[in-house]
A = this chain, B = another copy of it.
Amino acid sequence: MSGPVHSYDVVVRWSDEDRLGHVNNARYLTFVEDARLVWLAASPAGNGGVILARSEVDFRRQVHFAAGGRLVVHTDVRTIGRTSMRIGQDILPVDEAGRAGSVAEAVARTVHVLVAYDYDRQVSRPWNDAEREWLQPFVAAPGEG
């Protein structure tokens, strides 16, 4: 990932893990949800101006819990449309020095469609200029992702 990404630290919980000793697949959506909310909280739209329309998850590696175990979520923007955008969120391991692993080491790679949303009127809406400007730096370079 050559462009700037938003980075969010995840603390794994004992109860995230299932009988096989793996972090449960549904928890991946929880991890990226929290990363997304913190990322968007700083945007002009805030958390309240978008809605999740679609999620795709590729499960790459099984995560085993260690007490206080950590992961990191890297979020970037793939494409921005008139009323929606496609973002990438990779769930990566963290080494003892706190450095995120590479995409090749990803635990899971996820892609999501977010729609600019007017909750009062319950309809989608176009992104405004301030939102587009804020999102632009997170757009991955061509050929990425």
A interface residues, Cβ below 8 angstroms from B: 9-11, 13-15, 17-21, 24-27, 29-30, 33-34, 37-38, 41, 47, 52-59, 65, 67-68
A9 → chain B closest CB, angstroms: 8
Given known contacts A25-B52, A29-B26, A56-B54, A67 and B19 CB-to-CB distance under 8 angstroms: no
A10 → chain B closest CB, angstroms: 8
A12 → chain B closest CB, angstroms: 9
Q: How far is the CA of A9 from the CA of B70 in the complex (A)?
A: 13
| A21 cross-chain contacts in B, Cβ below 8 A | 19
**A38 B57 Cβ-Cβ under 8 A:** no
Chain B, Cβ-Cβ closest to A51: B59
**B47 A52 Cβ-Cβ under 8 A:** no
**A38 B18 Cβ-Cβ under 8 A:** no
A11 → chain B closest CB, angstroms: 5
**B30 A26 Cβ-Cβ under 8 A:** yes
